[in-house]
Amino acid sequence: NCRIVFSLLALMTLLSPAALWAEAPRQLIFSHVVSPDTPKGKMAEMFKSVLEEKLGDHFEVVIHANADLMDDDEAVTAIAEGRIHFAAPSLSKFEGYTQKLKVFDLPFLFPDMDAVDRFQESSTGQALLSSMQDKGIVGLGYLHNGLKQLTADRPFTKPQDLAGLRFRTMNSDVLIKQFELLNAKAVPMAFSAVYQALAEQRIEGQENTWSNIFSKAFYEHQPYMMISNHGLLDYMLITNADFWSGLTDEERRSFQYARDMSLRYGNAVAKAKSSNDMRELARMKSVSVYEPTQEELATWQAAMQPLWASYEELIGKKIIEAAQQAGR
């Protein structure tokens, strides 16, 4: 009996397709904090599908959305240490690794997304992608979400209206100081904690893009919104430097192809969602979207813009000037 079983096993080994014995594809973790139905969520899915179509025998991209694996501050460290493979944190979340990206947080620096495109595509913008390489982080490209809007639990039209209110910010000292200039109190916290903090009235306001306000239902506790377009929420698609340099040239080309396709797609989604989600919010009976006049907007600019000068040395004058140039 033993001999029969043994012979059968030997026969199976000989006849089995090689695939049966091939190694399972290597799992690559892509961690992010937003809903799947957002520019970043859609971009991650496209990246997975294009990459697996090309290299699916070798790699599988496992996406963790909604901060279900970790929040963004941890994701940046996890990329640097090679514990995860891809993330696309907001440009405001890299201050532990470089000061230069703070340029993207300066209020009212970019008048519109075309200016952002021009700056990101310029030689200065492209050089910022490798500003964290010595710390293990490779920037593969920029992804848009869009311009940020101010929201609160009470009506506001002037900077003074926000005095004393607690505003959630990302963990970025530029953003913290921006609210301090308005005499509001900045409360830095992870994106995944914002909804609950609003619901429990631990914060009275926040700033975010139309798609984040909409997809995370912040409007349920923030019925007052202003079309302020005062700041930028964009992302950098990042990977670990050793992982990236360890790929073969051919593999890297496929990853670059997946990057190009998915960023282009994500940017198109960002553009569409920015106007659609704003329209959806403006249509809600419970929501009031205030459109400031040019004069009113100028008072917000005057209140926040002093930040530029105080960050000139840290960020670098040339970088700020290149960004300004892109906006002209």
CA angle 316, 132, 270 (to 5 degrees): 85
Give start and end residues of each alpha helix (H) in the chain: 2-15, 18-21, 39-55, 72-80, 113-121, 123-128, 173-181, 194-199, 210-215, 241-246, 249-283, 294-304, 307-315, 317-326
Among 33, 184, 198, 238, binds ligand LMR (CB under 6 A): 33
- Of 145 and 178, the one with the shorter C-beta distance to ligand LMR is 145
The answer to the question of residue 131 lying near ligand LMR (CB under 6 A) is: no
Q: What is the DSSP string of 292-308?
A: --HHHHHHHHHHHTTHH
Residue 212 found at the interface with ligand LMR (CB under 6 A): yes
Q: Site residues for ligand LMR, window 183-202 (CB under 6 A)?
A: 191
Residues 252 and 107 sit within 8 Å (Cβ to Cβ)? no
* Selected binder of ligand LMR within 208, 222, 228, 229 (CB under 6 A): 208
Q: How far is the CB of 168 from ligand LMR (least distance, A)?
A: 8
Q: How many residues bind ligand LMR (CB under 6 A)?
A: 9
Contact 221, 153 (CB under 8 A): yes
Q: Which of 28, 29, 30, 34 binds ligand LMR (CB under 6 A)?
A: 34
**Per CB under 6 A, 145 contacts ligand LMR:** yes
Least distance (Å) from ligand LMR to the CB of residue 194? 7
The correct pick among 28, 143, 170, 241 for binding ligand LMR (CB under 6 A) is 170
Residues forming the site for ligand LMR (CB under 6 A):
33-34, 90, 145, 170, 191, 208, 212, 233
